[in-house]
Structure 1
Amino acid sequence: MTQLDELFEQIGKFVLKQADFTFMRAQTIVKQHTEKLSQIGDIAFPITVQPWLNAIETNSAESRNDLKQIINESETEFARKLCEASTEWMFHIEMVKFSEFRCLLFLNRPKCYSDFLKTVLYDDASYGQWHHHNTNDDNTNYAVEVVKQSNDNSLVAHRLQLITKVLINLLRSSGFEANAAKFDVNSLENNNLTEVLVKSARRDGGKRANRQSELELNNNANRKSITIICGNVTICRPGLTADDFIRLRSLEMEKTAELKHGHNKENVIIDKCQKLGAATVTFDFLKIKHFNTINFEKSMTTPSTIKGAAFILYNVARLQTLLASFDHQVARGFYDPLPKFDQIDFGLLKEEEEWQMFFVYIVGYPNLLERCISGIGTGNIAIHLLCTFLSNLSALFSVYYHRVKILTDNLPQLVPVLYARIYLLKALRSIFLKALAILEIESLDQM
């Protein structure tokens, strides 16, 4: 269970006054907002009865009949009690508003920053692990195996290998045990293992029908065997290998660098372009749902195809450079060393982008990992959500970076907020690097 799952469960139990309300059902009715947080709140839930009736898992008619209305007293009294109850939760509710048929919750931002950033920064290795091992859990361990193609350097084979590696990374980052290995049937039955086969789609038929026919194999096979279908890759140059494709993308990066910096063939520039080329291919392969066909026939020479990974890595490099610049200024005595975490006033973080980066992306990261693999039991994973997450976070950070001067003058009225921002950006860097590592993309310190 993630921290947000726990909050949703706490809200559900408060609203329904039912101890058996579970977090899996709460996710369907208590919603986290992702934008315009100052206007519409951080979290919302309906105050009409029917949506909550649909979310109640108990079949007791008596329990349902007891739920005549969500707010049994005045809105003011309901809001007061909810804020008071939340003082026992990780996320404290500061304000409650009502809009039409919804209840809007505004969290106590300074409290959330100080409590949650500490978890991210000092439990960095385990942050994101929403799954906790349970001896009664039949799906704790996964053995992920790629069904190889005849041409191991083909684009489809490369896509298969990427999906396999990223799936293993996702499972491990979420708290599961996963390995790239093949196990016999006895191992699967005796060692609490689930076999995951990653295989390419057949080439005879539509992508959806093809996917469905393959998924039906899961229902007839051993209950501990899952098939993940990988769609085909079409391209305008038949016979083009994965290595060839990566070289083409790397050359595109070199041409872009030449336009920007002149004819500079230094090894450092070439090395960065090669890494960018590999990252671009990886991102292009993973941003599409795994069962869909990827069509490069029209996009081979389109510059827009190289913007995704490059834009993300460019902003990560900006972030790395900014934090390195701060450390350099400390070393040369311009700034005092960063104070201890408990001495920071996070109430100074007033910018909307700061709260959005924190609440939507840092706090929301474990839930993202959960969504990526929640459908694995039916052969449906969502690696593409991680790509979308990184793209959106990069866009938000880019706006923030251009709008807010972070490394300010060393003045008493400016330095305290600088220190708070440095801690926030350290946590943001951690999320960026974790997500890129899952996708098998190497970050760059500079662009």
Structure 2
Amino acid sequence: MDCNPISQFSLQLFEFFVKPLDGQEAAGALAPSRLRRCGEILRYNNEELAEQGDFSLAAISRYWLNFASKQGCMLRSQAELLLPGEEQRQQLIEQSKEWLFPLAEVTVLRKERYALHFQRRPIITHVLKSVLTLAGDYGRPLKTAQSPTMWVQLRTNARVTADGHQELRDYRLGQLHKILLRLVDYSGWRLVEQEARQEGTLCVIVESQKCCQQQAKDHVCLVSGPVLEPVKKTATALSVKDYLELRSTHMRLIAMHRSGIRPSGMSNLDSLMQRLGEAAVIVDLFEVRHVSAAIVVRNGIGSSKGASYILYNSARLETLMRTFAGMVNAGVYEPLPPLGEIDLSILEDDMDWQLIYGYLLHFPELIESVMDNLQQGQCSVHLLIRYLDNLASAFSRYYRHKKVLVQKRDQLMPMVYARMYLVMAVRQVLNTALSLLGIEPVDFV
């Protein structure tokens, strides 16, 4: 099964509308990943799905012509509009019944776009089964001898601050190198040593300043930008040690304010706050593009919800899992039945669907997007931070509006079991995304 079913569906949809030119290869020879670069032809949604559709596509034929011709294809219909009537829209729905993810409805969103809605049950089943079966390998392609190869080197001139500690810019550079290595391991690339490079190996140098054009012909430069103060926008004098201590203090104050935690309330509080501080620094440094300047957080200036918000919702997931296990041990609930025995129609509600379709299904696509422009010297780590922040927000809304755990009543137990499987899947994907950044999830915040 394709580890990125969104690419698979995009290709099937494209083939519905186009056919190869005479003498050209079939449209099916297209690399599915290339369909992510077709602009506004296809647009996937993760908000307002009931109104905007699970995704939408351009209705006007000329928007498709340029992209199709570059693939050696032509449109099957020469009409001004794709799917001009109800009959043509029904044909697409009927054709999709043979696909991994069949469609339920095609509607006119506005004059130039159609909204497409999936049948929800097949996607819910696929996502939960895939995430919970594959766990930390969900979205990880199978590497083969034919997989593209990459060699990565860190090039840095270690600098220290006046107090003898590492500069934040060098720390950011080192963390970019570590994140890239984890992403390569998770992606379809094979990492090779310098002596194992071959023709076609992508050579990536992670450094603080781009080589001149003549020097860079044999490799790609992945550049890490400066770290600045929030007001004056000058290079910060904070060392890594000082900034970690500063952000750990911020995390402690947030935990005391939000959760009522007191220094005497937890034996491992110092260790926990250090981990939260380390996570906050990673988010601060990479919530913008790695080549852009990162802004340190002082007195709330330059701060977003960041790591505290992401990890607070990570802790909520862990608390739900722990509470459920405790209720099972106490005899309040029966043990969680196998997934195949769960009534997944319960999760076809709009808020459940947004988590499953809008975020969990799209995680493999996200990882590919992060690595898409590596050959141009761009590794979009900031997209991973944005995904975590948005997933945390979506789960926070879900937590506020849905009662996951209730006192045992026979008629409510199918709902509890279905939602616990969803909680487990969200937790797994969130933890996988955190691990790619080198951030440990937390049990309590």
**CA-atom RMSD, angstroms?**
2.6
Kindly state the Cα deviation for residue 92 of structure 1 after the two structures are TM-superposed.
Answer: 1.4
SS in structure 2 of the partner of residue 305 of structure 1: coil
Provide the residue aligned with 2:372 in structure 1.
Answer: 374
Provide the residue aligned with 2:220 in structure 1.
Answer: 226
Cα distance in 1 for residues equivalent to 2:427 and 2:155: 32
Kindly state the Cα deviation for residue 265 of structure 1 after the two structures are TM-superposed.
Answer: 7.2
Provide the residue aligned with 1:163 in structure 2.
Answer: 176
In structure 1, runs of 5+ residues without a counterpart are 202-213
Cα distance in 1 for residues equivalent to 2:222 and 2:284: 19
Kindly state the Cα deviation for residue 66 of structure 1 after the two structures are TM-superposed.
Answer: 5.8
Kindly state the Cα deviation for residue 15 of structure 1 after the two structures are TM-superposed.
Answer: 1.9
Provide the residue aligned with 1:103 in structure 2.
Answer: 114
CA contact (8 A) 2:136 2:432 kept: no
Matching residue's letter, 1:189: Q
Give the structure-2-normalised TM-score: 0.87
1:322 aligns with 2:329: no
Kindly state the Cα deviation for residue 71 of structure 1 after the two structures are TM-superposed.
Answer: 6.2
Matching residue's letter, 1:281: V
Provide the residue aligned with 2:202 in structure 1.
Answer: 194
Provide the residue aligned with 1:55 in structure 2.
Answer: 67
Provide the residue aligned with 1:209 in structure 2.
Answer: none
Report Cα offsets for 1:245-268 as digits up to 9, x if no partner. Answer: 101211233344455334537541
Kindly state the Cα deviation for residue 320 of structure 1 after the two structures are TM-superposed.
Answer: 0.9
1:14 aligns with 2:9: no
Q: Rate the CA distance shift 1:101–1:322 in 2: closer, same or farther, 3 A.
A: same
SS in structure 1 of the partner of residue 332 of structure 2: coil
Q: Rate the CA distance shift 1:70–1:346 in 2: closer, same or farther, 3 A.
A: farther
Cα distance in 2 for residues equivalent to 1:331 and 1:413: 21
Cα distance in 1 for residues equivalent to 2:75 and 2:303: 56
Cα distance in 2 for residues equivalent to 1:390 and 1:72: 36
- Match runs of 1:289-368 below 5 Å: 289-296=289-296, 299-302=297-300, 305=303, 307-368=305-366
Bigger Cα displacement from structure 2, 409-418 vs 13-22: 13-22
Matching residue's letter, 2:79: Q
Provide the residue aligned with 1:147 in structure 2.
Answer: 156
Matching residue's letter, 2:227: V
Q: Rate the CA distance shift 1:438–1:52 in 2: closer, same or farther, 3 A.
A: same
Report Cα offsets for 1:12-31 as digits up to 9, x if no partner. Answer: 10122454163345332222
Cα distance in 1 for residues equivalent to 2:81 and 2:45: 22
Provide the residue aligned with 1:387 in structure 2.
Answer: 385
Matching residue's letter, 1:199: E
Kindly state the Cα deviation for residue 118 of structure 1 after the two structures are TM-superposed.
Answer: 0.7
Kindly state the Cα deviation for residue 348 of structure 1 after the two structures are TM-superposed.
Answer: 1.2
Aligned residues: 422
Cα distance in 2 for residues equivalent to 1:423 and 1:306: 30
Give the structure-1-normalised TM-score: 0.87
Matching residue's letter, 2:216: A
1:34 aligns with 2:36: no
SS in structure 2 of the partner of residue 56 of structure 1: helix
Matching residue's letter, 1:403: H
CA contact (8 A) 2:19 2:75 kept: no
Provide the residue aligned with 2:23 in structure 1.
Answer: none
Kindly state the Cα deviation for residue 365 of structure 1 after the two structures are TM-superposed.
Answer: 0.4
Cα distance in 1 for residues equivalent to 2:184 and 2:328: 39
Kindly state the Cα deviation for residue 287 of structure 1 after the two structures are TM-superposed.
Answer: 0.7
SS in structure 2 of the partner of residue 328 of structure 1: helix
- Match runs of 1:221-300 below 5 Å: 221-223=216-218, 225-235=219-229, 239-258=237-256, 260-264=260-264, 266-296=266-296, 299-300=297-298
Q: Rate the CA distance shift 1:408–1:157 in 2: closer, same or farther, 3 A.
A: same
SS in structure 2 of the partner of residue 142 of structure 1: strand
Q: Rate the CA distance shift 1:303–1:271 in 2: closer, same or farther, 3 A.
A: farther
SS in structure 1 of the partner of residue 268 of structure 2: helix
Cα distance in 2 for residues equivalent to 1:333 and 1:66: 61
Kindly state the Cα deviation for residue 148 of structure 1 after the two structures are TM-superposed.
Answer: 3.8
CA contact (8 A) 2:324 2:405 kept: yes
CA contact (8 A) 1:49 1:70 kept: yes
Kindly state the Cα deviation for residue 187 of structure 1 after the two structures are TM-superposed.
Answer: 3.9
Cα distance in 1 for residues equivalent to 2:321 and 2:251: 26
Provide the residue aligned with 2:92 in structure 1.
Answer: 82
Matching residue's letter, 1:410: K
CA contact (8 A) 1:174 1:366 kept: no
CA contact (8 A) 2:124 2:347 kept: no
Report Cα offsets for 1:235-289 as digits up to 9, x if no partner. Answer: 4796431012101211233344455334537541222111111111111011111
SS in structure 2 of the partner of residue 105 of structure 1: strand
Kindly state the Cα deviation for residue 413 of structure 1 after the two structures are TM-superposed.
Answer: 1.9
Report Cα offsets for 1:278-319 as digits up to 9, x if no partner. Answer: 1111110111111111233xx422277273101100101001
Cα distance in 1 for residues equivalent to 2:145 and 2:80: 38
Cα distance in 1 for residues equivalent to 2:58 and 2:203: 41
In structure 2, runs of 5+ residues without a counterpart are 21-25
Provide the residue aligned with 1:127 in structure 2.
Answer: 138
